[in-house]
């Protein structure tokens, strides 16, 4: 933040904003980071128990499971970290992301609702349910934030998580009444183990969402300044908030239906990026996408290697490491304020 | 409770006392409210006792004259005593916790006791295997768990609360995050266990009033009694603490010290309750909110008994109806959580500030 301010004040003689000259995307660090993510992706493609080079159908297997898995990792990594970033902008709170707002629990409730209404729902149906409910849930949370006056920014995630606990109590209740607790439990552990050709393609929709977020980046940044400032700068605040929430819910809903719950990714990635780069959404977005991809690929490789013939769900690795990073961020924040 | 609201309450109380021409500041605005309080309290207690009695004898499969009647009642008595302990622990600790955090929305179960509890068990199994795990039960293990949970809380929250940057909300948030991190670690370790070990562990992790271990009562009951008594004796100080840090400091209270002292007592109660009957997230919240509604006062000397009565009534009534009316045994805690959660949402919206 400070760096950005300083670089802008040093160019004070030109009144016009100089962003595009000052923040070129293809800087050396960015190219280096891209390269690192590509290397990670390659490592991910060649990690696994099945010997793809020794066996006769190795190449076939490679394209049936390994390539889809790596792509879905990259897509979900980008989706979750971007939705975290957008959420943080909209709520003006650094500690908000799909797991700390109850959005994930709402998506779970949506899945249960779909299972209740349709006996054997297709993936599209489940996705629609998750998307609709996470939209409703995120809107509810924002509505709560507006209704309720808060005395501390730290209380926002507390309320979000309690809201999530209420929703998951409802889910458990419904699940118990209709005998579906097993479904909920398996769903709440996000894992990429079942990803293969034919079961992940909907994740490509995330590319569209990413493009949308890139187009709306500046407007979302303005909305992040608060309703009054955004309105006086000529932004239709409510529409931007609505659109942002819709985009997040789309991303979270798709990931929830296809993969499951991935905790803390949306929180740690944007926070770390903005620690280094300040708060401009448009120039941070590529970085956030890239670091999100890198983080989740690294976690997934770890999840596959750690008990080698088997694998643990990546959400457990993310949950463990994410909570540590979250606490470090919190404590740093306490030193700064 | 916001500071201005509580100050308003204080002035209100003073004004009404002036109107009453009473010389002492009393806990109730009018004599009518005081009378109402006692009537409500007595009704609730008798209802709670009635339901407890119902749980003991209603629908007993053997006739009263049979010699096996008493053993059946004794078997059920264990569950009722567990309910009583849970009610005492949860209601008193939630009320005290809400006062020191100066916030009526928060419950101490946010601090991640249940995660610490299951992590202790899981890691015993993970690192030492089944033999040690099975022998790690009974009184020693119970004491060890309680001490470990309290120590973790004391170190962590003492550290987070002390010093220049001490912040209650930060402490809560860190507690929640540690809880969810530990849950991940625990579930990670459980994945690596052999299925037979996992079965043994799973049986232990599902604590509820129905499989509460009667052998632990001789230790649990004295601990709960002593700690609850200490908190009750501290009621006047809690009245001051609930006015917020600034006011309580200027009234001559060592705020930090009192907060940490109360927090230790609260964490002991929560640890005992979790180790005995398992996690309950919104039960304490439900009880405390209803207690404030029913008592119409902010004086802890009156809130505590009311919370106790309500807590016992809720848990016994819920179990009674679920067992004997709806015949649905497993869902009691989920029902309580469900209603507690709904009430939580309503409370936030009605209050409008946090």
Residues 6+ apart with CB under 8 A from B331: A173, A176, A177, B322
Chain B, nearest residue to A95 by Cα: B173
ipTM for this model = 0.73
In a domain, A134, yes or no: yes
Q: What percent of chain B has pLDDT over 70?
A: 82
- pLDDT tens-digit readout, B252-309: 888 778 888 888 888 888 888 887 877 777 788 888 888 888 887 788 888 888 999 9
**Helices A28-45 and A281-305, packing angle to 10 deg:** 30
The pairs formed by A327-332 with CB atoms below 8 angstroms and a separation of 24 or more are A327/B174, A327/B177, A327/B178, A327/B181, A329/A94, A329/A267, A329/A268, A329/A271, A330/A95, A330/A154, A330/B170, A330/B173, A330/B174, A330/B177, A331/B174
Give yes or no for B353 touching A (CB within 8 A): yes
**Do the chains contact at B188 and A163, CB–CB below 8 Å?**
no
Asked if B90 contacts B287 with a C-beta cutoff of 8 angstroms, the reply is yes
B24: left (phi over 0), alpha (psi -120 to 50) or beta: beta
Residue A247: give the domain boundaries. 30-43+70-336
In a domain, A52, yes or no: no
Domain count, chain A: 1
Strand partners, A149: B353
> pLDDT value at position A12?
43
Asked if A268 contacts A324 with a C-beta cutoff of 8 angstroms, the reply is no
Q: What is the mean pLDDT of residues A212-230?
A: 83
CATH superfamily of B3-112+207-351: ABC transporter involved in vitamin B12 uptake, BtuC (1.10.3470.10)
Give yes or no for A157 touching B (CB within 8 A): yes
- C-alpha–C-alpha distance, residues B284 and B104, integer Å: 11
**Of residues A99, A104, A108, the one with CA closest to residue A158:** A99
Q: Which residues of B touch A148 (CB under 8 A)?
A: 348-349, 351-354
- C-alpha–C-alpha distance, residues B299 and B288, integer Å: 13
CA distance B106 to chain A (A): 9
CA distance B142 to chain A (A): 27
CA distance A227 to chain B (A): 19
Residue predicted with more confidence, B23 or A132? A132
**Of residues B35, B121, B51, the one with CA closest to residue B87:** B51
Give yes or no for B106 touching A (CB within 8 A): yes
Residue B67, number of CB atoms within 10 A of its CB: 7
C-alpha dist (Å) from residue B251 to A38, B5, B240, B301, B302 = 63, 18, 8, 19, 22
- pLDDT tens-digit readout, B76-103: 888 888 888 889 998 999 999 888 877 7
Give yes or no for A182 touching B (CB within 8 A): no
CA distance A311 to chain B (A): 9
Give yes or no for A155 touching B (CB within 8 A): yes
- pLDDT tens-digit readout, A172-194: 777 777 766 666 666 666 677 77
Q: Which of A106, A314, A319, A324 is the mutation pick for testing B, counting most B CBs within 10 A?
A: A319
Q: Which of A94, A146, A166 is the mutation pick for testing B, counting most B CBs within 10 A?
A: A166
In a domain, A237, yes or no: yes
Q: What is the mean pLDDT of residues B201-223?
A: 74
- C-alpha–C-alpha distance, residues B188 and A191, integer Å: 13
Q: How would residue B40 be classed by pLDDT, with cut points 50, 70 and 90?
A: confident
pTM over 0.90: no
B positions 113-132 inside 8 Å of A (CB): none
| Winning range, highest mean pLDDT, from A42-51, A292-301, B184-193 | A292-301
Give yes or no for A262 touching B (CB within 8 A): no
- pLDDT tens-digit readout, B153-175: 778 777 777 666 566 777 777 88
For A330, the closest of B174, B342, B353 (CB atoms) is: B174
Would you give the DSSP letter of residue B118? H
The pairs formed by A138-147 with CB atoms below 8 angstroms and a separation of 24 or more are A138/A87, A138/A101, A138/A103, A138/A106, A138/A245, A138/A248, A138/A249, A138/A252, A139/A245, A140/A106, A141/A101, A141/A102, A141/A103, A142/A90, A142/A91, A142/A241, A142/A245, A144/B348, A144/B349, A145/A91, A147/B349, A147/B352
- What is the Rg, in whole angstroms, of the alpha carbon atoms belonging to chain B? 21
Could you identify the residue written with the tokens 């006996």?
A: A119
Question: What is the helix (H) or strand (E) element at residue B95, kind and residue range?
Answer: helix B69-101
**Do the chains contact at B165 and A189, CB–CB below 8 Å?**
no
Give yes or no for B349 touching A (CB within 8 A): yes
**Do the chains contact at A148 and B354, CB–CB below 8 Å?**
yes
Q: How would residue A54 be classed by pLDDT, with cut points 50, 70 and 90?
A: low
**Do the chains contact at B185 and A169, CB–CB below 8 Å?**
no
- C-alpha–C-alpha distance, residues B184 and A140, integer Å: 27
In a domain, A8, yes or no: no
- Domain assignments of chain B as residue spans, ordered by start: 3-112+207-351
Chain B, nearest residue to A185 by Cα: B187
Which CATH number goes with the domain that contains A254? 1.10.3470.10
- Number of A to B CB contacts under 8 A, please give it: 118
Q: How would residue B226 be classed by pLDDT, with cut points 50, 70 and 90?
A: very high
Give yes or no for B4 touching A (CB within 8 A): no
In a domain, A234, yes or no: yes
């Amino acid at each position: 933040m400070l760096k950005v301010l300083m670089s802008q004040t040093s160019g004070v003689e030109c009144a016009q904003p100089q962003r595009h000259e000052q923040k070129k995307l293809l800087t050396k660090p960015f190219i280096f980071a891209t390269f690192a993510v590509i290397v990670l992706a390659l490592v991910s493609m060649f990690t696994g128990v099945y010997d793809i080079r020794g066996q006769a159908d190795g190449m076939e297997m490679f394209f049936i499971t390994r390539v889809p898995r790596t792509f879905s990792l990259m897509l979900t990594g980008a989706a979750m970290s971007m939705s975290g970033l957008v959420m943080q902008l909209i709520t003006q709170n650094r500690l908000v992301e799909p797991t700390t707002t109850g959005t994930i629990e709402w998506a779970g409730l949506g899945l249960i609702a779909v299972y209740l209404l349709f006996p054997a729902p297709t993936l599209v149906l489940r996705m629609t349910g998750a998307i609709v409910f996470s939209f409703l849930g995120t809107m509810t949370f924002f509505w709560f934030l507006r209704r309720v006056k808060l005395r501390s920014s730290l209380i926002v995630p507390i309320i979000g998580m309690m809201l999530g606990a209420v929703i998951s109590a409802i889910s458990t209740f419904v699940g118990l009444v209709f005998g579906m607790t097993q479904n909920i439990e398996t769903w709440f552990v996000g894992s990429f183990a079942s990803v293969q050709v034919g079961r992940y393609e909907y994740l490509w929709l995330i590319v569209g969402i990413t493009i949308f977020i890139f187009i709306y980046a500046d407007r979302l940044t303005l909305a992040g300044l608060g309703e009054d400032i955004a309105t006086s700068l000529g932004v239709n605040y409510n529409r931007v908030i609505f659109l942002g929430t819709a985009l997040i819910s789309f991303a979270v809903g798709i990931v929830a239906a296809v993969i499951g719950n991935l905790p803390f990714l949306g929180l740690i990635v944007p926070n770390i990026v903005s620690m280094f780069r300040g708060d401009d959404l448009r120039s941070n977005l590529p970085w956030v996408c890239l670091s999100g991809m890198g983080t989740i690929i690294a976690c997934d490789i770890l999840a596959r290697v750690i008990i080698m013939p088997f694998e643990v769900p990546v959400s457990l690795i993310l949950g463990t490491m994410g909570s540590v990073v979250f606490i470090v961020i919190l404590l740093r924040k306490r030193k700064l304020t | 409770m916001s500071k201005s609201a509580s100050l308003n309450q204080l002035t209100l109380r003073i004004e009404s006392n002036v109107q009453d021409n009473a010389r002492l500041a009393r806990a109730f605005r009018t004599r009518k409210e005081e009378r109402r309080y006692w009537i409500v309290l007595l009704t609730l207690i008798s209802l709670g006792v009635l339901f407890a009695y119902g749980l003991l004898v209603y629908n007993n499969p053997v006739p009263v004259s049979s010699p096996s009647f008493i053993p059946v009642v004794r078997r059920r008595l264990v569950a009722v005593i567990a309910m009583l302990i849970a009610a005492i622990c949860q209601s008193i600790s939630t009320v005290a916790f809400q006062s020191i955090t100066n916030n009526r929305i928060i419950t101490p179960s946010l601090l991640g006791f249940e995660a610490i509890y299951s992590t202790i068990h899981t890691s015993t199994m993970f690192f030492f295997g089944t033999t040690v795990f099975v022998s790690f039960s009974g009184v020693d293990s119970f004491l060890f768990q309680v001490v470990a949970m309290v120590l973790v809380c004391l170190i962590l929250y003492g550290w987070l609360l002390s010093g220049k940057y001490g912040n209650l909300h930060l402490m809560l948030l860190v507690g929640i995050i540690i809880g969810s991190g530990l849950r991940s670690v625990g579930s990670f370790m459980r994945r690596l266990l052999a299925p037979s070990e996992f079965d043994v562990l799973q049986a232990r992790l599902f604590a509820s009033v129905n499989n509460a271990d009667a052998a632990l009562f001789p230790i649990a009951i004295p601990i709960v009694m002593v700690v609850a008594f200490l908190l009750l004796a501290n009621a006047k100080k809690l009245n001051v603490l609930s006015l917020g840090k600034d006011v309580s400091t200027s009234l001559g209270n060592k705020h930090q010290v009192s907060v940490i002292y109360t927090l230790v007592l609260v964490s002991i109660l929560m640890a005992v309750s979790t180790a005995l009957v398992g996690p309950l997230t919104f039960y304490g919240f439900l009880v405390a909110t209803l207690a404030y509604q029913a008592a119409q006062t902010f004086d802890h000397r009156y809130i505590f008994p009311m919370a106790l009565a309500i807590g016992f009534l809720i848990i016994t009534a819920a179990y009674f109806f679920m067992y004997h009316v709806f015949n649905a045994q497993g869902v009691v805690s989920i029902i309580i959580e469900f209603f507690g959660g709904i009430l939580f949402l309503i409370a936030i919206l009605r209050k409008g500030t946090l």
